[in-house]
Amino acid sequence: MDRLRAFEVFATVVARGGFAKAADALNTSPANVTRYVNELEGYLGSRLLNRTSRRLSLTEAGEALYERAQTILEEVAEAEALASATTLKPRGRLRVNAPLSFGVRHLASLWPRFMALYPDVLLDIALTDRVVDMVEEGFDLGIRISRGGSPTYAARKLATSRNVLCASPDYLARQGVPETPECLANHARIAYSYTGVPEDWVLLDPQGEPVTVRIPIRLVTNNGDTARAAALAGQGIIWQPTFLIGEDLRAGRLVPVLPNHRIPDIDILAVYPSRRHVSAKVRALVDFLADAFHGTPGWEWHPGDTA
């Protein structure tokens, strides 16, 4: 048994949530995936997965192996990259998917620099706020705005962005400044639809305890800039990342609401379908972006910052 391949198959089954989806991702058959998992369980003498007709879950042994297998696969990918870096030159079409607002604001100015460094790479950039299936839609790399990493793809963290609850001074002058989370029930909410538009928002109080609040929805949109425009026009309260509203907060065009309560940060990730056999062009772009976003991002904002 090829143990490294078995680890990769097992990790892909867990990440994809099923044998058939893992087979598609690995370009093999479901029967072959099943064989690898069965052989791995037999070799280890432990059941790794609980299987039913409707769901798949990890056993205690499976959870321990999955965590370690991810680390092993990452280390192997790094070793392969080091071995091939001196012989492979980035070239060919590189399809990249990124969120619309982030792509326009923080990536557009980077692409010419990358093109100058790698003239043999043809960049193909697609901007959409919809979460795409990278394998099915043929993307080599994606930029994801995520909390808690990427369970499906290999990922490298590029930066962090704070989330801030805020509104325009004009709106707060008309509607009043909420002093407690309960006061938000009397305000208007501008909602971002790709978060699922839940009825409630969950904030963390100064002790880090979750506080659930409900705010009547005034507008729903699938684009952060549209939500920002509505908030700047005094139409309600938004919850948006500082990469979108950091300048507005520094300039005072938007002001934080309930500043003693916070929302968990989000990560900016470069994601790609597989840890193994990463192409030279993908690795070049991931390294380029990691270097470009190194340190404190220019969009970051903290209470007291002014333009």
Give the residue among 161, 121, 147, 151 at the shortest CA–CA distance from 271: 151
Better-scored residue on pLDDT, 10 or 234: 234
Rounded-to-integer distance, Cα 23 and Cα 38, Å: 15
Rounded-to-integer distance, Cα 81 and Cα 279, Å: 8
Residues in the chain: 307
Max avg pLDDT among 55-64, 116-125, 145-154, 201-210: 116-125
149 pLDDT higher than 80: no
137 pLDDT higher than 70: yes
Rounded-to-integer distance, Cα 303 and Cα 259, Å: 8
Question: E strand or H helix at 221, and its extent?
Answer: strand 217-221
* All domains in the chain, ordered by first residue: 3-84 (1.10.10.10), 92-161+266-293 (3.40.190.10), 163-256 (3.40.190.10)
84 pLDDT higher than 60: no
Write phi, then psi, for 190 (nearest 5 degrees): -105, 115
Confidence band (pLDDT; 50, 70, 90) for 99? very high
Condensed to tens digits (0 to 9), the pLDDT of residues 242-290 reads 999 999 999 999 999 999 998 888 899 999 886 656 788 999 999 999 9
Least confident of 21-35, 42-56, 77-91, 183-197: 77-91
Q: What is the DSSP letter of 103?
A: I
